[in-house]
Structure 1
């Protein structure tokens, strides 16, 4: 039965050997503890807690705790508290705990619980490896009983404030997807049975990204300067850069810098060095970028002429100072005096024999050493082949070019002689007298002499109206040619009119003038419409001129004549007397009234004719022919109405015109890969053929067309931008056409798409295509364009062609520039070059396809020149004419409109400049007039 204490009491009896018996009550067992749980865990202890059983007498009760770990070893402790800490436990170990209560010597049933101590912290946490996007951590197993099956947790900061956490069962972990050159704090801890150990923390760093665009800035025979760009990454600052290099030996040198360029000094000349450059941050190096560059070779030494004949010269030299290996290649160039073409040979020897030279000719020799594809500075020498001194050739076609009253300009042709450019010309002259002076047969002529390098000479300070004897000869090395002679006269001097007096009655005047300086034969008088000739004796005597009217003012002139030449006329205004003037006035009034009547008659007749005209019919759109410069602005404004409706109709008409011309060569299978776009193929009749190469079908083809200009049907070549496989063909085109000018109107890459292959060298290192070697000699970059000077060397023909490339970089593909002004400025520079460059082939113009931007610039050049030469132009007709030679020229309507805008802007600029000149002129006139009135 139940007791108040909640326990059970049992009754029983005991009979001892039948002798006697005992009867009594035994205490009941207490209830078990409640809510047994783990309150805390460390690496060496576990704290348990529970609640007392119901009905327990705390004064008469004890709690017993028993636990079993590894090895089945039991530990037992007791307490009167409802909390107990079992210590001296092994870390990371599992234990089974039993708890019961004892009351009055009676035990309750047991409550059991399994719990694990916390593991120790991991040991030796370190960064094992790193990259620019990952870090590998490594640690050792925590101290404790072995073996243990731990779970390891790794935590690091992620994006924003969020932490990233991962687990593993091994003692290393690679954290990926990190940012380069960045710092991260990692936490690592072990876990056993869900119980984590204490954390170990470590700061780790990712490596920087590689440096970008490693390149050579400059190099000499003892130094190399490298530069690069900052690595990509979240932080562009605080990098240290390391440069390591090694030459022919195994010696390695290292240099650090905080700048993005560094110069390595003290290098060996003509030596190939291998450079490695990497960025370092937080003491963590990034991966390296590598580059092999050679220093410049020293110049050859002791260059001299070893032997010479009348047709050959043997040059010799010593190898440059510096390492002896690898061997040098020597390039020998020479040019004859007066020539513009270098010839070149190469050799590995320290001497060379140059043959087939002209006897007695002067040459300049240049010898350069090459090693590792780098050429040394020039060693130069001037020498001549042997010769017997010969007499220079005489000048030809000596003539008088112009003359004044005190000077004569002579002109002649240089001798047809290879050394003519180095001749000095002597000019000698003496006066031969004039007719009105007596000649003294005993008087010796006083000769004067002048010298010049030109084929013309101005002889000054001469006497007017005088015959002179001229002699011209050529000289070289103090040896003179035979002379060419010429007789020529100066113009006579003008007279000075001393008086002009009216005759009595006013029907004539009497002119008087002084005798001129120098020679003169006659005088010609002009007064109004009356002309009179007088002999030389009439000066200072007075001459009458009749046939004039009274009371009139007449312009009178007197002109000196000598030896078929005329002086500048002297002029004066003569006034006749007024006799008979009344009769003249009456006649004048009658004539005026007659003219007024005729004017009224013709005005009435014109008005009646205009009334008979019919009403105007509706106009239909007509395409313009020649447009006068003064009308061009109105033409553009008319076509710009209604969103360029007029231009749209013109361009639509161009687009609808069909040019069914053969494109058989461009469409051939062997040439299909040479075309950038399938719809832009040159016509057979206008394509530019290359010289065929034996055994190579299609080797005569390139996508280029001859284009008509202002003066010639082949004034330009329009070409597509070279493809990788046609760069060699493009340079063949330049060489075979001997074109000195390239015009490039596209960037190599636009909006991520390749528009044109980069066909010229990036630096001074030449590029070779077959027999053609291309060298970049100079480059000048402006805001909207770049000008490059290139040299083509034909290794087989041993000739040089100089080419200038005009590269406009501000023209978008298919679109048009925002303003015509930069393109007009570019055109002016290009046109100035073309006007100065005489001879050679047509300029080669290209963009990507060679039709849109190319056609627009060619049309602009031709039309602006037509405007300047003829005062009118016809854009529509010329674009149509271009499309007959190459399809799709001026490819878009926007380009067609832009062409007109450029021409209009050109006219506006010209008008503005003219207005400024007129304003300046008007100001000068006003100032002069004011000065006159002030006087």
Structure 2
């Protein structure tokens, strides 16, 4: 918008100082006078100024970016642009482009090519400025596949592929650097170059760039290149053992902390490598006795040095040597197993203290060598060396000896009852002082002696015993030659303390005697001259049967031995008595009655009827009856005495016998009906005009009842005659006719009084008898399907029904004899004075010396399967522990059940009779082999050994610890599970032997446990429940079994729960329902009537 004006008279004009590149309009106005005339507008422009110098701002291998300064004095000039022209230097083809900015990028160019470029300013009316020129190269492409390789410890080599679009004028710029900076720059014409004078074991960064011109260099391609480290020095291999080798070497002069070492070793295909940073390596897991080669290289930046090489053997494995004499007396054989790995040879060396020395080298395939022609009874030492390379590994010395030579034959020089003198020929060809003789003998017990002489006297032998003697040479290492043998016997000892007793009611003699010293093969017994009066037995007792009653016998007994029998021991003894022979009164009574009145008669009978063949007649009696003829006499009539007008047979009188002859000359006269009394019997008057018969009762033993004074028929020995066949009829009473009326009235009054008195008397007797002789049930079996109703009925009113059943069981079995338990010598063996075993069921031990040795407080108990399935025992006392273990051994017990703790509520309940490890109990050794404590019980295993016989047996101990004192277990499940555990063991190991069960007294808990076992069997096999019958049976064998009412109720609860589990209404036995058992919980200690606690 700049306005210029100028006046001229010329027809042209030049405007100066205009701005370049501007568009101007020109008008010409002609002026003449006052008039003017303006021409049309003419538009023109000034030429633009050229741009400033071209600058290369950026190059790539396909583009060049250029910039230039804005033309001078062109600020604000409108419609300004720039025209760019370019072509490769060696091409005539031009390329053009236009831009209104002072920067542009020329693309799609050829790499590594020189381009000529020009830029001109384009102004208004397309006027252009002069051009500005420049030339420049595009960047060449980078090299391809640059690779570096190590040449040696100071040189590397680089190789690369030509860049894309390579030109023949290209050069390559190579640069080497490390962490310290650039070390080497070089330009080369070829595609590879070697670089030397580098440091060993060093890693370098190598770059290569393509150079088209000084200002046209491609992007660099880089790679890492490393020189080789130096080789290690002084490599050595030292064998550590059979499977390990130690390698050591020295650092090289160029050592750097980054160096590592690669150790390569192996044989054939089994080669391995290990890497280490140290100058040593332990190589393990090698094969024994093997030559290994080892290569060690230094590794730096993954480049390995040259290899250092060495080799050595591992040590061979020592053999495990066995040296045997093979049972010979002149050879030693060495054997060994093939050792692991390799062995090149073996050297076997034999030596002795007698300067013997032999050796033998064998190939590796041999594992046996025998040295022969050696001397008998000498110790030899053998070594075997395993040889591989420079190594020979010693097996270590192993010694053995050749067997000694056997002695010559044995001779018996002399023998006595308890000694034998032997002699034998000395063993030949033996080293002096290197051997002895072993004299072994065996019989019921074994013995041995060692002597250096060839004779010996053996004392203290058992008499009557056959001994087998073996004499052998005992050489070095206790090796014994084959023995020479001889058998001979000592004389037998006679028996001692011979006791002979006769038993009543049985025609036999019982003999007992002490076992004589030494051994025997039994005893010969003689009591007469014929063969039938002789017997033989092996035990220390014998019963002679089929004898005559009440007769003296001379009994002889002598011991049978393997040698001479013993001297004879004699004694005289008498057999017992029994009931007399039956008398025949029709032969022995006079035909005439000596006296007869209306109320009595007199009998006279011969003493021939008092036959003392079965024992002396101590008493006789007369049975009288007015009943029918033909009634036989029997013992029940002895319970009857006289009553008026009695028709039942009764004993009228009983008299002690004072006449002991049977010559038929003496007679005895008795008055029947005299009104006399004898013992508890009334010889009351007879009835007139009545027919009577009588019988004779003879007694060889008479016992009267302490209360009634009548004959105790169960304990008296009596025989009855038949009733006399001729009846005796009494005459009429003379006074009857005159006083019939008054007599009749008086008789009626008397009869009434007697009737009343007798009625009261017999009622009292009936009540008394009813109390003294209860009629008991032995069993209350209930079918399984009916048991629940029965159980509920008995549980009602606080277990009233069960309480009555338990009360009925109290007298069961109590009247049985307990003689052994009450003996003074056995009193200290009983824990409680009210718990004593019955003689009929007590466990009897062997007798070792005293007749009381057989006693222990234990009873055989019937189980479901056998009558002696269990032994119920008290808990051992300190003084009875040995007897307890003796019982375990003698009764072959394999299952032992303990139901108490040793101490409960501060009181000792049982001695801890088992050891923590091993303990001796006389001849029994007990070892605890295992103990498994559980919550409610502990299971122990024992080995029990008889030291006399060396026999060992296994015993399992089931110790139930969850049974409260004087109570019952918390749940039925607990005890039933425990029973199953015990029963399983019994089925496997105790089928032919009893199982011992004990608590403290051996009755309460013990009885409950045994009863539960029987109860489960009964339910399973019979579908019956008979708790009452089971307890009744147990109490017939041991008192107080199932001791408390709570335990009795608990058994019924067990039965109920077992039945429910069988019927499916109580799958888990509902044992968790402890509310049903709360009556049994927290039961306080109870005491029996004698002050002793119940168990």
TM-score (norm 1): 0.39
Structure whose alpha-carbon radius of gyration is higher = 2
TM-score (norm 2): 0.34
